[in-house]
Each structure stands twice: as structure tokens, then as C-alpha cells.
């Protein structure tokens, strides 16, 4: 509880250990600030940056709205929007408690993609209210990154916002995870000398990430993929499916499997975990020879890497202390940078596929079982993803000027 960590004066409490906790020390005062990009040194500067000079620019934009991209920060800034209902592994902790994460996301945008971002934590969870609020905020931004909004509401919020806005709307928990997962899987398949079309995958988790991963794998040409929720394989014969899961059943599970996650893993080439929980070692042992295990739950993977390595040829997690970290920061800064660069109105499946291919190509000449995905600190990542996304957007003619 916060009361056990911070006293009534807002100071760290709990003895020497908490007093020197580096996380609290780093976060004190927040992790970001706004700074001017033009000087205001004297009256002349002031008259240009503000009144009367600013009036000329405002009038020009009023006459030609597209000039807003050239004479404001709109084309280089993203709103990072959350309602605090699905924050990291913490769950529904509310908008204020989510702010450190949203600030963190904003500085990752800047650090890894050169994109400015503003954290916006909304004190509402109603879909209609969230959509209406973001629509009204949208004129200030070139894109919207939805973050840590619980499923299934996140699907409807993203869809409705994209229908109403002419700027990209991207739910990173879905699509960022999917892009990085596909990139790692492409390289794992290359390392083993097989095509994606020869692989059968099993996804544990039918929430935001699981649905998006399934969709992008199908778009990329995976042989087959079965998605499992708490009740087992999402299949067309189930009568308890939500609308999202019913749609999911329509484009996955070609083999018509039914039953448990463990039964789906029999002979499977790929396990992708975005659910938490623990998968029995016996189920891993029954996967295909030289399988791939991407156990991405944090902080505890569904399959411990030491167990996975007994049976799998490539193992990935969501953690930084093991090889092959599936980290969204490899995707979202470059994806938004590319989309903003060409003033795209949406981020399409083609743009996501291009991002995954570019990300995979960064380490295509350096492949090993412990290197199927680059490090977030590899300086080649963001430029490669940015260029690929911008090129895909131009090719699809989705940019509006």
C-alpha cells in the first residue's frame, strides 16, 4: 500500500532501504517536462512567439487547416491515453497510479523514436466517455497511443476512435506486442530453415495482445494458430464466446481443435504466452521437436526459460534479464515516427507487417538462438522501422495532406 511507502509529508518511509530506493529517487518530481524550442530572450522574440506574431500563423491555419502540421507541433506529438484499468502486471490501479507508466511511455517515444508524447490519464472507464473525450482532445495531436486499457473495451475504443479521427490510433498492448512477436518468430523460423506457413502456433491468452498476435500471424501467413482462454481453445463450437472471440474463432484454428491449452500444445511448433499462469512442463515436452517458446508474461513467464530450453530451440520472454526480450519499445516509436512522417491517417495491417519485417531484418545477419530480435538499445531499430512504415504508408496511399 502507498501509505506504507510514503508518509503524510510525501517523504519515503520504511527505513533505510526505502529511503534509498532508486525507483523512488528517479521518479520524484516526474520523469518529463515541456521545454521551448525557440528562444524568448527579449521583446522581439516575445512578439514573434506570442502576440502579435502568433496571430498571423493562427489566421493562416484558419484559412488552410493543413498548415497546422507545418506551424505547430501536431505532426510530431502523440497522446498517450489510458484509463488505468490494465496497467502492466498491476491491473486496475486507476488513472493517477498509472501516470508513472504513461510518463515512462512518453520518454520512450522520445528516446527511441524522436517523437514527443503527452501522458493523458482519464478519470473514466465508460467507452462512450473515453471516445468522446479523446475525440475532443485530438486536434492537438498527430496520433493517439492507447495504453493499458482493459479488454474487451480496448477493441471497441480503438475501432470507434479510428472511425472518427483522421490521425492514427494505435493500441500498443495489442499491436506493438504483435509486431515484435512476429519479427522474432520470422527470425526463429529462418534460423530453423522453415517457412511461417509450415508452423502451427498456440497462443495462451485471448485478450488484447493474444487477439492482435493471432491476427498478424494469420496476415503473415502462419500455417495455423489456435488461441486459448481460461476455458480452453477458442473454437467455433463454443457457445460462451464474446463478439471479439467469435470473430477470432472465424479466422484461427483451421484444424478445428477443441479442449485445453495443454491439448492444443501437442505437436505444436510455437507457444506464445500472453496470459500469465503456469504451463506444465509435460505440455512443453509434447511440443514438436525444436519448437519455439515465447513465454511473455511479466514478471513470471508462463514457462520458465530453464524449462523451455530443455525442449525448445528458441526461447523468448518479456524480461530484460533473459535473451530475446519481446519488448514493445522495439516497435511503437518507429511505427509512430513513420506514420507521422507521412501524415498517415491510420496505421494499417500492411504498415504493421512492414514494421515486423524491418525489425527482423535488423539482426538477420546475426541470428542465433539467443538473438532473434534486436536489443531496444540497438540504434538501427527505430530508423529501420520508421522508414519501412513510411514506405508502406506511401504505397498504400493512406497519407492525407
Q: Where are the domains of the chain?
A: 2-34+71-172, 173-401
Could you report the per-residue pLDDT of 213-227, keeping only the tens digit for each? 999 999 999 999 999
Pick out the residues of the known binding site.
147-148, 173, 298, 327
For the cut 70, the answer to whether the pLDDT of residue 280 exceeds it is yes
pLDDT surpassing 80 at residue 46 = yes
Q: List residues forming the annotated binding site for (S)-malate.
A: 298, 327
188-218 burial, b if ≥16 CB within 10 A, otherwise e?
A: bbebbeeebeebbbbbbbbbbbbbbbbbbbe
CA pair distance 135, 120, nearest whole angstrom: 13
Which are the catalytic amino acids? 50, 105
Could you give the angle at which helices 349-362 and 381-396 cross, rounded to 10 degrees?
150
Q: How much is the pLDDT for 287?
A: 98
Identify the pLDDT of residue 331: 97
Task: Select from 191, 192, 60, 81 the least CA-distant residue to 145.
Answer: 81
Q: Which CATH class is domain 173-401?
A: alpha beta
The whole-model pTM stands at: 0.91
pLDDT tens digits, 210-263: 999 999 999 999 999 999 999 999 999 999 999 999 999 999 999 999 999 999
User: Which CATH superfamily hosts domain 2-34+71-172?
Assistant: Malic enzyme, N-terminal domain (3.40.50.10380)
Determine what percent of the chain is predicted with pLDDT higher than 90: 89
Handedness of CA 46, 47, 52, 57 (dihedral sign): negative
Tell me the per-residue pLDDT of 296-306, one tens digit each, with 9 for 90 and over: 998 899 999 99
Q: Could you tell me which residues are annotated as the binding site for a divalent metal cation?
A: 147-148, 173
85-125 pLDDT tens trace: 999 878 999 999 999 999 999 999 999 999 999 999 999 99
Give the whole-angstrom CA distance, residue 359 versus residue 184.
8
The yes-or-no answer to whether 2-34+71-172 and 173-401 have a common fold is: yes
Looking at residue 276, what is its pLDDT?
84
Amino acid at each position: 500500500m502507498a501509505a506504507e511507502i510514503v508518509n503524510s509529508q510525501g517523504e519515503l518511509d520504511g527505513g533505510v532501504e526505502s529511503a534509498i530506493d532508486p525507483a523512488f529517487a528517479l521518479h520524484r518530481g516526474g520523469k518529463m517536462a515541456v521545454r521551448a524550442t525557440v528562444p524568448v530572450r527579449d521583446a522581439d522574440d516575445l512578439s514573434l512567439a506570442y502576440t502579435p506574431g502568433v496571430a498571423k500563423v493562427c489566421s493562416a491555419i484558419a484559412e488552410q487547416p493543413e498548415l497546422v502540421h507545418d506551424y505547430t507541433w501536431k505532426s510530431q506529438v502523440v497522446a498517450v491515453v489510458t484509463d488505468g484499468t490494465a496497467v502492466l502486471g498491476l491491473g486496475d490501479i486507476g488513472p493517477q497510479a498509472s501516470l508513472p507508466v504513461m510518463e515512462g511511455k512518453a520518454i520512450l517515444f522520445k528516446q527511441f523514436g524522436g517523437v514527443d508524447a503527452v501522458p493523458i490519464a482519464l478519470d473514466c472507464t465508460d467507452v462512450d466517455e473515453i471516445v468522446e473525450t479523446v475525440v475532443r482532445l485530438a486536434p492537438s495531436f498527430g496520433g493517439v497511443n492507447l495504453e493499458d486499457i482493459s479488454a474487451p473495451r480496448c477493441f471497441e475504443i480503438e475501432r470507434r476512435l479510428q472511425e472518427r479521427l483522421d490521425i492514427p490510433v494505435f493500441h500498443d498492448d495489442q499491436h506493438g506486442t504483435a509486431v515484435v512477436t512476429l519479427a522474432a518468430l520470422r527470425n526463429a523460423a529462418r534460423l530453423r530453415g522453415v517457412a511461417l506457413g509450415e508452423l502451427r502456433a498456440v497462443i495462451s491468452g485471448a485478450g488484447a495482445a493474444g487477439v492482435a498476435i493471432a491476427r498478424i500471424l494469420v496476415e503473415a501467413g502462419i500455417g495455423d494458430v489456435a488461441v486459448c482462454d481460461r476455458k480452453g481453445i477458442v473454437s467455433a463450437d463454443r457457445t460462451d464466446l464474446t463478439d471479439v472471440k467469435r470473430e477470432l474463432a472465424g479466422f484461427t484454428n483451421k484444424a478445428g481443435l477443441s479442449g485445453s491449452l495443454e491439448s492444443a500444445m501437442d505437436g505444436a511448433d510455437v507457444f506464445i504466452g500472453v496470459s500469465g499462469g503456469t504451463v506444465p512442463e509435460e505440455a512443453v515436452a509434447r511440443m514438436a521437436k525444436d519448437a519455439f517458446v515465447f513465454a511473455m508474461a511479466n514478471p513470471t513467464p508462463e514457462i520458465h526459460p530453464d524449462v523451455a530450453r530443455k525442449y525448445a530451440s528458441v526461447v523468448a520472454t518479456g524480461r530484460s534479464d533473459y535473451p530475446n526480450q519481446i519488448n514493445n519499445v522495439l516497435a511503437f516509436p518507429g511505427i509512430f515516427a513513420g506514420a507521422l512522417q507521412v501524415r498517415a491517417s491510420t496505421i494499417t495491417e500492411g504498415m504493421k507487417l512492414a514494421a515486423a519485417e524491418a525489425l527482423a531484418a535488423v539482426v538477420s545477419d546475426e541470428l542465433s538462438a539467443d538473438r532473434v530480435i534486436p536489443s531496444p538499445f540497438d540504434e538501427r531499430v527505430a530508423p529501420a522501422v520508421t522508414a519501412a512504415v513510411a514506405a508502406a504508408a506511401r504505397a498504400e496511399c493512406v497519407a492525407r495532406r
